[in-house]
Structure 1
């Protein structure tokens, strides 16, 4: 390439770059600065002081009230502050209608039962569960009763809502 042509191209590029930089500065309107906009925000109002409400009934003295010793059950707590619950899994079926039929038989007999569907690798399994109960011993008693009544031996699992 000829040296003169190179110099002309470089000169043209410099002039175009300078025009791109300086032309917006010339036509920029000074009345509208492109800076931050200041807004005057009033201070937050003070909340009213809390009012004390007097009770309408006289308070009871603890010594005067005859109390009954109540045994308080302490249940395990999950991390989400939900108590640990237990269910009895009686059976698993590939056909949901078979699981629903067993669930209906259990409900007619007075047991809290439901069908839970868990997706498996190949297909969906329908599990028949009885419960939930907070006390694991109660679920163990249910297992014995259901084994006698329905001749089904289940196993205890944690209830996951």
Structure 2
């Protein structure tokens, strides 16, 4: 479109210039003399030739199709070459090395069998002493005190309270079983403590933390 527009504009300017020159001559009557006019018309620019994408694709596919043929030729040339005799020498060395390893292994087996044939003196085995897993009771010596946090006829409640107090880490917690009117009951106790004041201090901490009013009692067991 730009080239056509340029050509049209050039044509219009040429016609306009001719009209300006010849019209006065025709009107005045002085246009009998022929005059040579030189008009320079610009040459149209060359349009570059574009290569389509389809042509490039076709060329690439043709080049790719030629590649497998080259690979086949190279493989055939390699297959036709004679095999070097170095591989045979290497295999012979490997066979000799394997035979040496076998002889060494057989000698080691013979030595081990001879060692096994010798009488072995009996080994004295120490009998492991069984260690009792029962908790060791604290030997307080003299008078001791405990905090009774609760007494239950329900075993589950007693053990639940015991686990709860053990998590506090204030003191050791244990359960003492006793029978009341033929029914088995469970006392949850903390301690024992060597002094009554120590038991009272721990009891106050338990009361402040868990809202449990424990009884400080003399521990006779």
TM-score w.r.t. the length of structure 1 is 0.48
Higher gyration radius (CA) = 2
Highest RCO, 1 vs 2 (Cα 8 Å, sep ≥ 6) = 1
Greater per-residue helix proportion: 2
TM-score w.r.t. the length of structure 2 is 0.35
